[in-house]
């Protein structure tokens, strides 16, 4: 099979109907990319309304390459308008002493990417999705996934929705994963959790003790990270001082629960810099923070269903710890690879397309899952008395940030398809570490 590069295709030109379940970053990207590749798309989302709480998402060059094609650049322009306007990332110890300063070029997407509020990014994606006229069902709960040799679909109550394939992008707690992968997926809580908070800067603007973060930002946004024993605090501003964010990575069990941010204040009570951080953290509105257990587990054995007409993508397939900084990015890569694989294979070979997509994506995401665990261990074990980080991960490895997932599909689809047909393993030629 010879595969030649194509651009966006006319709507519904492929004859393939794709059902996307879940409209987080991966699901929204999958719907948009499938539309771009000429597939008819139907979207289902459990939540009846848009998105609220969340922290920052960093979009790096490997995902930006995909987004640049959306809406003749309109999506990128919207992201640029709302991105964090940073010029440095600063690292401190628990005394507040500056240890590291890393330049950050907010205008260079391929080098440093875009940093946005999660809810803002989803609003931008959703607005673009709606502009394409794609069918969207919200406030619906999928009760069953099913497939035959020639179709797949879901049940929503008594209603049956049918398509040529189903793409489950319903997140880390995916309801479709077990039915699609055939594998129990008991998430394993790590030895850590994370508080995350986002609120309007006006909340603290008049507070003389808490508003230091706004003054620190100056005419740019700011991003400060404080490392102590078993604790990492990140704090900064977003959207040109319009919002304050902070997060606290820790080793306590999130399930123990708390109805306030007091545990965070307890974590840092012995830090000399606590007098600076505590006033800001304590002013967080009750509705604007959460404490979540962090989950990871070994990679699934497979992403594709028995008959090859259903696949999991994004966090449903490969949950990352936030330390990897690649959750949304890899969901976007999944989206582009699945959509293009379907275009190349065509309506008569949908199972081949989904299985090729899995082969092209599996090793890369597994490597990034491993990297996330390494980054977590590093961040929670910083000892400034011994020089800080005992082992430093490369900040911008070429295999991760310079990867072009669309180019990879064009270059490797044929060989991956042969591996599918022959029932053999496949290691992609690009997109994974060389060591």
Taking the C-alpha atoms of residue 30 and residue 57, their distance in angstroms, rounded to an integer, is 18
Residues with Cβ within 8 Å of residue 48, at least 6 apart in sequence: 138, 139
How many residues belong to the chain? 435
Which of the following is catalytic: 120, 196, 309, 371? 196
Helices (H) and strands (E) in the chain, counts: 12, 17
Nearest by Cα to 222 from 338, 311, 102: 102
Phi-psi region of 358 (alpha: psi -120 to 50; beta: other; left: phi over 0): alpha
DSSP 346-402: -GGGHHHHHHHHHHHHHHHHHHHHHHHHHHHHHHTT-BGGGTB-SS---SS-HHHHS
How far is CA 319 from each of CA 95, 174, 322, 324, rounded to the nearest angstrom? 34, 10, 9, 10
Taking the C-alpha atoms of residue 6 and residue 406, their distance in angstroms, rounded to an integer, is 10
Three-state SS at 41: strand
For residue 117, indicate whether it is catalytic. no
| Residue 140: exposure state from Cβ atoms within 10 A (0-12, 13-18, ≥19) | middle
CA 245 to chain centre: 18
Taking the C-alpha atoms of residue 138 and residue 131, their distance in angstroms, rounded to an integer, is 16
Name the pairing type of β-strands 144-147 and 152-156.
antiparallel
Task: Point out the residues that are catalytic.
Answer: 196
């Amino acid at each position: 099979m010879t595969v030649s590069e194509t651009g966006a295709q006319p709507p519904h030109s492929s004859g393939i109907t794709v059902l996307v379940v879940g409209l987080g970053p991966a699901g929204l990207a999958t719907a948009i990319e499938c539309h771009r590749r000429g597939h008819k798309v139907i979207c289902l989302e459990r939540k009846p309304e848009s998105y609220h709480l969340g922290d920052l998402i960093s979009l790096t060059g490997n995902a930006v390459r995909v987004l640049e094609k959306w809406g003749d650049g309109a999506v990128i322009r919207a992201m640029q308008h709302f991105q964090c306007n940073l010029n440095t990332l600063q690292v401190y110890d628990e005394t507040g002493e500056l240890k590291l300063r890393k330049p950050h070029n907010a205008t260079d997407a391929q080098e440093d990417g875009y940093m946005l509020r999660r809810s803002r990014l989803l609003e931008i994606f959703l607005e673009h999705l709606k502009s394409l006229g794609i069918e969207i069902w919200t406030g619906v709960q999928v009760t069953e996934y099913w497939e035959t040799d020639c179709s797949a679909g879901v049940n929503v109550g008594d209603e049956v929705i049918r398509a040529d394939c189903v793409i489950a992008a319903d997140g880390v707690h995916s309801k479709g994963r077990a039915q699609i992968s055939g594998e129990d997926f008991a998430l394993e809580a790590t030895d850590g959790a994370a508080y995350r908070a986002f609120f309007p800067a006006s909340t603290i603007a008049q507070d003389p003790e808490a508003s230091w973060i706004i003054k620190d930002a100056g005419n740019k946004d700011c991003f400060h990270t404080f490392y102590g024993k078993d604790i990492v605090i990140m704090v900064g501003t977003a959207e040109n001082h319009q919002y304050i964010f902070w997060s606290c990575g820790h080793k306590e069990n999130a399930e123990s629960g708390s109805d306030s941010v007091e545990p965070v204040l307890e974590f840092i009570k012995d830090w000399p810099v606590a007098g600076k951080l505590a006033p800001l953290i304590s002013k967080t509105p009750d509705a604007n923070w959460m404490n979540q257990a962090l989950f990871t587990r070994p990679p699934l054995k497979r992403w594709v269903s028995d008959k090859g007409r259903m696949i999991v993508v994004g966090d449903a397939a490969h949950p990352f710890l936030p330390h990897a900084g690649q959750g949304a990015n890899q969901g976007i890569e999944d989206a582009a690879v699945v959509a293009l694989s379907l275009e190349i294979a065509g309506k008569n070979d949908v199972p081949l397309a989904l299985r090729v997509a899995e082969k092209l994506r599996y090793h890369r995401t597994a490597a990034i899952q491993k990297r996330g665990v390494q980054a977590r261990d590093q961040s929670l074990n910083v000892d400034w008395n011994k020089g800080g980080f005992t082992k430093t991960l490369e900040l911008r490895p070429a295999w991760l940030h310079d990867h072009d997932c669309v180019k990879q599909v064009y270059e490797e689809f044929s060989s991956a398809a042969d591996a599918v047909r022959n029932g053999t393993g496949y290691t992609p030629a690009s997109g994974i570490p060389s060591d």
